[in-house]
Amino acid sequence: MAAPKGGYFGRILVIDLTNRKTSERKVSDDDFRKYIGGCGMGAYLLYSALKKGHDPLAEDSPVFIGTGPLNGTSCVSTRMSVVNKSPHTGLLSHAEVGGHFANEIKWAGWDGIYITGRSRKPVMLFIKDSEVKFIDARDIWGKDTEESEELVLREVGDPDAKVALIGPAGENEVSFAALIVERSRAAARTGTGALMGNKKLKAVAVRGTRAVPTVDVKKAYRAMEDAKKLAVEREGWQGIKRYGTANLLEMKHYGSGSLITKNFQTTWWPAIDNLGAEEAARTFWKKHTACSNCPVHCMKTGVIRGGKYDGLIAEGPEYETGGLLGSNLGLTEFGGMMACIEMADAMGLDAISAGGVLGFTMECVQRGVLSAKDLDGVDLKFGNADAAVEMLRKIAYKDGKAGKLLARGVKRMSEEIGKGSEAWAVHTKGKEIAAHDPRGDKGRGPSYAMGTCGGDHHEGGDPKTLARWAMINSLTICSFVGGYPWGKETPKVFIDMLNPLCGWNMSDDEYWTTAKRIITLERCFQVREGVRRKQDILPKRFTTEKLPEGPKKGAVYTEEDTRKMQDSVYAYFGWDDDGIPTDATLTSLGLDFAMADMQAARKA
Amino acid sequence: MKKDDENVGKALDKETTRRGFLKGAGAAAGFVVATTAIGGIRPPLAQAQQPKPVMKYLFVERQNCTGCRACEYACSMAHEGVVRPAASRIHVRKYKGIVDVPVICHHCDDAPCIAACPLDPPAIRKDPETNGIILDSETCLGSNCLRCQEACPAQFIRVHPDTGTPLMCDMCGGDPECVKACAQQATDPLAPCLWAGAGGAGVNMSFRKVTPDQAAKDLINQMYYPNTDGKRR
Ligand code: SF4
Ligand code: SF4
Ligand code: SF4
């Protein structure tokens, strides 16, 4: 089991919060080559660490923050993948997030951080190269993410440190609480915030001073430079430089007919002119912000001047936050949408799940199933931004009857409320879905229904893109740098960088086999938890209600579409008719260790 | 040198290691060869049709900074042979998640850093050709001294994580790598954040008095004109 030669340090930092101890887990070059890093390495570590039915909020439940081989090199690799068993869905989940945090982990000489245990008192970590400090965080506990980040930076005393932390939502163990990185980026779709809150871990700060070992610097860096050029020059991505993802709000309304609106009742929302990128550029944005080395700088920050929200400084909108907390709530005014987005960031909530929950509740109100009386007097009607802002705060604190109810998420809410509300309970595998209506944009169907974690937009639209994205999330590359712009050249662009970086001789075939191994292992985890064909579906609304208006008027995601999607994915990855990986597939991918579990699942 | 640095250094030409680099830095010609040989990523200066004018000053248009740190990447690649922001001369600080402040050397006409050096001759000197600050790592007292760091009004000087000696900006022989990297990142090709100039125009002398913290306050006031109570909402 040789140590890695380049791209990796060959060690993962293991934190035991119960005993305030740290240790180092060695990982061989072979294992990295098989699982790459990020979500792939996370699946490998968690599959063996956990048994079927393990309580996501148990003391020994791990959170893995995984980097990839390209982080910290001259490649534009900015993301990390946060992997844990989600307390929201009970399934293996991963969330990718950018910024500088991932690269600082690498420069500190680690390939990832594996956190287990539970502290008795609020604590934070400061990782400076090989040194790890446990710092009392009692004074920071309870503060929103804005104030917390300032306090954490002051506490660690290193202005170059980068911080990931939780807000009140995480502290109160809201099952869709996010991990907030560098104030406004979120690893959100995993319920990681709740795990950290449960572990009493408020924040992790990291600072590294080393360099990533590289086997052939000249060759690797040249390939990375070429890849970066490709990302900058490719037509279509210039729009992201200018508008971030916000202009998808207009695009999905006018063009693809997939802008989610009023809890997925329609995709046509003319008020989008007041919420989208053009409005933001004209009245709000002050600055572009980028992750490490990234020429795309998709993140925008701005300030509202005039009107009710005068003085509001916030980041966004992105397509997801603007969709879920804008058109989805039937909002018509920019300031109100930004107030919701900023509230979700400040509280440390997953803006997608939170938006889904609010939209669902608003529809319950619309249909007379819930009223202000049931909601602590909050008038949660479509279009009422103030009510939405107030409710986001209540969710984060599980405040009152309404806060407790909404903090449960759409699936559990509708089970509790009943009264036919399942019809508009939009989730897959228990997770609220992202901002692309799959009736207008059919390619999103597989991402929501077949993607590992359910309801995510970052998983890919057909079997091959599912595989592609498994690699992108393991290599921890951003969609807007490597995911889309390098699309046609995948896997060549990656292999050209990886081989000289790591001293490998990876071929195209090996690349795709690795992708299949990662997805299949993730699938094994979910199958062990009970996921089968009958869970690989889209919410009922998409298969029964036609889009009432807009460019894709009349579109519906048919049962036939669903069946085809399932069959093609199972066939491509070598899973049986119920979506369980076959023995032959497991053997060919070197996953024999999962065979007994899969055989048991087949009998169950 | 740590083990991983040796590992990466192996693959590079000899003169691109930090030590070799510093030796070559004395003669302007040797300097150019050294920088351009690094990774061979950017076209060698020698091949340019028109010789570029020698740049002697850096300027920063702070509100244009995206906080991407490509300048740190480029600086460390040029001086360390690898991406290693902790050893970059230029460094970028983020404040409150909304503004970024690149911290540069202003190549002060009176160079308080050099004046503060207790050695005779000082371990740092200005290259008369490029205005770059050149460090003699053999004589520098490093972490035992760091008077230069205290003297720098811009709070530019950080120390090398391995050697403890100050990280001085040598202007990359008159063709700053950070400036080129920034141009590639710019939102608007006409409006990058970093600039280089052949003259300081006196601006460098007043600009240097602005500490990073002060610059951040100014940026927040100028760009976001926040509420007087400092609250974000
Ligand atoms: S800015 Fe600082 S390091 Fe640069 S010349 Fe002036 S005193 Fe020296
Ligand atoms: S001019 Fe050269 S040495 Fe100075 S900060 Fe820029 S890249 Fe670094
Ligand atoms: S390269 Fe330019 S935009 Fe990027 S951090 Fe440096 S100064 Fe700012």
The Cα–Cα gap between A502 and A494 comes to: 12
Mean pLDDT of A266-281: 96
Interval A371-395: pLDDT, tens: 999 999 999 999 999 999 999 999 9
pLDDT score for A306: 87
Interval A175-213: pLDDT, tens: 999 999 999 899 999 999 999 999 999 999 999 999 999
- Secondary structure percentages of chain A, helix, strand, coil, to 5: 45, 15, 40
- Average model confidence (pLDDT) for chain B? 82
* Interface check B12 vs A, CB under 8 A: yes
Each domain of chain B, given as residue ranges in start order, spans 2-48, 57-223
A174 and A304 in a single domain? The answer is no
The pair of structure tokens assigned to B190 is: 């006409």
The pTM of the full predicted model, rounded to 2 decimals, is 0.92
pLDDT score for A235: 63
Note the residue count of chain A: 604
Of the residues A432, A462, A485, the one at which a domain ends: A432
Q: Is residue A220 part of a domain?
A: no
Cβ contacts (< 8 Å) between A29 and chain B: which residues? none
pLDDT score for A1: 76
A242 and A200 in a single domain? The answer is no
pLDDT score for B229: 67
The Cα–Cα gap between A333 and B65 comes to: 30
Mean pLDDT of A92-98: 96
- Is the model more confident about A91 or about B49? A91
Of the residues A372, A401, A432, the one at which a domain ends: A432
Specify the fold of B57-223: Alpha-Beta Plaits (3.30.70)
Q: Is residue A223 part of a domain?
A: no
Give the closest-approach CA distance of A434 to chain B in angstroms: 25
Question: Which residues face A11 on adjacent strands?
Answer: A26
Q: Which of B47, B38, B50, B49 is nearest to B177 (CA)?
A: B38
- Average model confidence (pLDDT) for chain A? 95
Share above pLDDT 90 across residues of chain A, in percent, rounded to a whole number = 90
A146 and A197 in a single domain? The answer is yes
The Cα–Cα gap between A297 and A314 comes to: 16
Which of A105, A154, A286, A343 is the best substitution to test chain B (most B C-beta atoms within 10 A)? A286
Phi, psi (degrees; rounded to nearest 5) at A301: -125, 155
Residue A591 confidence class, pLDDT cut points 50, 70, 90: very high
- Interchain CB distance below 8 Å, A74 and B223: no
Q: Name the residue range of residue A503's domain.
A: 444-603
Say yes or no to pLDDT of A88 above 90.
Answer: yes
A465 and A501 in a single domain? The answer is yes
Interval B161-205: pLDDT, tens: 999 999 999 999 999 999 999 998 886 777 889 999 999 888 889
C-beta B117 within 6 A of ligand 1: no
- Interchain CB distance below 8 Å, A222 and B39: yes
Q: Is residue A212 part of a domain?
A: no
Of the residues A432, A454, A469, the one at which a domain ends: A432
Say yes or no to pLDDT of A483 above 90.
Answer: no
Predicted ipTM of the assembly: 0.95
Q: Whose CA is nearest to atom 6 of ligand 2?
A: B178
- Is the model more confident about A245 or about B3? A245
Angle of CA points B225, A98, A60, to nearest 5°: 120
A581 and A463 in a single domain? The answer is yes
Q: Is residue A222 part of a domain?
A: no
The Cα–Cα gap between B160 and B140 comes to: 12
pLDDT score for B22: 36
Say yes or no to pLDDT of B232 above 70.
Answer: no
pLDDT score for B227: 73
pLDDT score for B24: 35
pLDDT score for B231: 67
A426 and A476 in a single domain? The answer is no
A182 and A112 in a single domain? The answer is yes
Interval B14-68: pLDDT, tens: 333 333 333 333 333 333 333 333 333 444 444 546 677 899 999 999 999 999 9
Give the number of the ligand closest to the Cα of residue B178.
2
Cβ contacts (< 8 Å) between B187 and chain A: which residues? 241-242, 288, 297
Which CATH number do you get for residue A558? 1.10.599.10
A130 and A263 in a single domain? The answer is no
Q: Is residue A2 part of a domain?
A: no
Q: Is residue A226 part of a domain?
A: no
DSSP designation for A254: I
Q: Is A485 helix (H, G, I), strand (E, B) or coil?
A: coil
- Is the model more confident about A141 or about A1? A141
Q: Please give the sequence-ordered ranges of beta strands (E in DSSP) within chain B, or none if there are none.
A: 57-60, 91-95, 99-103, 124-126, 133-135, 194-197
Question: Which residues face B124 on adjacent strands?
Answer: B135
Residue A488 confidence class, pLDDT cut points 50, 70, 90: confident
Mean pLDDT of A501-522: 97
Share above pLDDT 70 across residues of chain A, in percent, rounded to a whole number = 100
Say yes or no to pLDDT of A301 above 80.
Answer: yes
Note the residue count of chain B: 233
A513 and A548 in a single domain? The answer is yes
Interval A62-77: pLDDT, tens: 999 999 999 999 999 9
Say yes or no to pLDDT of A11 above 80.
Answer: yes
Which CATH number do you get for residue A304? 1.10.569.10
A426 and A461 in a single domain? The answer is no
A128 and A248 in a single domain? The answer is no
Q: How many domains does chain A have?
A: 3
Residue A7 confidence class, pLDDT cut points 50, 70, 90: very high
Q: Whose CA is nearest to atom 4 of ligand 3?
A: B68
Mark which residues 446-465 of A lie under 8 Å from B by CB.
Answer: none
- Rg of chain B's alpha carbons, rounded to an integer? 18
Q: Can you list the pairs that B217-225 forms with residues at least 24 positions away whose Cβ atoms lie under 8 Å?
A: B219/B62, B219/B63, B219/B95, B219/B99, B219/B101, B220/B95, B220/B96, B220/B98, B220/B99, B222/B63, B223/A286, B223/A287, B223/A303, B223/B63, B223/B98, B223/B99, B224/A286, B224/A302, B224/A303, B224/A313, B224/B98, B225/A303, B225/A305
Phi, psi (degrees; rounded to nearest 5) at B208: -65, -20
Q: Show the DSSP H helices in A367-409 as ranges.
A: 385-397, 400-406
A428 and A452 in a single domain? The answer is no
Say yes or no to pLDDT of A431 above 90.
Answer: yes
